[in-house]
Amino acid sequence: MDAVARRALRVAAVMTTSPAPVDFERACLAWETKSGSHGRSHGRWRLLASTLLWPDRQAEPTRHVLAAMVMAGDVYGAGRLPHDPPYSYQMIVSADRHAIVRAYPLDGAGRDTAGANSEIFTRLTIHAPALNAERLDLAALTTDRIDRAWPLTARIASPTGSEPRWQADFPVGHINVAQGGRFQVETGPILLPGAALEGMSAAAIDGFLLAYAFFNRADGADLLLWQRSGAARAYSRFARLDGVSIELFGRGQD
């Protein structure tokens, strides 16, 4: 069997057990805004994370994605382009809704908004292409294997039998590997449904949580959640996910 055929079989094996992981190198939002002073505006926005949410066992999953955080600007302006006072923002998006998450570093304000996509956009499309990837054995990670497989995509899935079922994909920003099968991933931000963590509704934005993730085993992760901390907002609230399923994906071995 040649290398192409072996790769195809590995990808097929991943896809038969669960939806294929997202290729974040190519994933993006594409949109067209309603007409304004400059007419309609078209654009693209890089994606950082994706979560599939199954409302029940019979329903098809809905995809929710997290766009990269950027500093806000006066689009098509002729003077100073950054907003004053400055703030950063990003979006949580599904096929029907969006939430805009804002952070004002100077006064600590966080004026988030949420609504139907049709309020702002004539078109908003999520491009989340499947990754041609092989699942890595977490118990046998080595420096050489990481080098060959890079870049990596991680997946955290809800505990078996939990409702609603969810599955979060995100690129790995940082990983350490040592002898004896030891590893640790530190990355983010990732996107989780509020149902993933009980008692964290105060940190939820339109039903979703933003977090940085830390994990060194296949069944649990530590999180730092985005929330208000004093006058500012930060990734500062600790939470732990137990009983989940964690996987890593990367380029296959020919």
Q: What is the DSSP string of 220-253?
A: EEEEEEEEEETTEEEEEEEEEEES-EEEEEEPPP
The token duo for 49 is 């994370």
- Give the model's pLDDT for residue 251: 83
pLDDT digits (tens, 9 = 90+) for 9-32: 444 444 345 789 999 999 999 999
Burial of 106 (0-12, 13-18, 19+ CB in 10 A): exposed
Query: What type of residue is 238?
Result: F
- Give the model's pLDDT for residue 107: 67
Give the chain's residues under pLDDT 70: 1-17, 37, 107-110, 229-231, 253-254
- Give the model's pLDDT for residue 13: 43
pTM: 0.88
Encode burial over 210-232: b for 16+ CB neighbours within 10 A, e otherwise. Answer: bbbbbbbeeeebebbbbbeeeee
- Please give the radius of gyration of the chain, using alpha carbons only, rounded to the nearest integer: 19
What residues contact residue 36 under an 8 Å CB cut-off, 6+ apart? none
The token duo for 208 is 């979703």
The token duo for 76 is 């098509």
- Give the model's pLDDT for residue 190: 98
Nearest 5°: phi and psi at 11?
-65, -40
The token duo for 94 is 């599904």
Residue among 219, 95, 199 at smallest CA distance from 157:
219
- Give the model's pLDDT for residue 254: 56
- Give the model's pLDDT for residue 10: 46
- Give the model's pLDDT for residue 130: 94
- Give the model's pLDDT for residue 199: 82
Cα–Cα distance for residue pair 162/150, rounded to 1 Å: 32
- Give the model's pLDDT for residue 7: 46
- Give the model's pLDDT for residue 88: 92
19 SS3 class: coil
